[in-house]
Amino acid sequence: MNESGFDIIRLICAIFMPPLGVLLQVGLGVHFWINILLTLLGFFPGIIHALYVIFTTDSSPFNKG
């Protein structure tokens, strides 16, 4: 799958399952746990954070190498 197709999948995941969108973007790290907390506090803050991470983070753990 090309990079733009994977970007669309991440965006869809960020809207419907915010922690999964963050996990696909940055892996299992600090942003993932922050997003879990924000999603538990309110679904909308989790979506905002997930979209922020996806649009501002350049790396994906699956694109290395």
Angle at 17 between CA 53 and CA 58, to 5 degrees: 20
Nearest residue to 14 (alpha-carbon basis) of 41, 39, 33? 39
Predicted TM-score (pTM) of this structure:
0.83
Express as a percent the part of the chain with pLDDT over 90. Answer: 69
**Residue range 11-36, pLDDT digits in tens:** 999 999 999 999 999 999 999 999 99
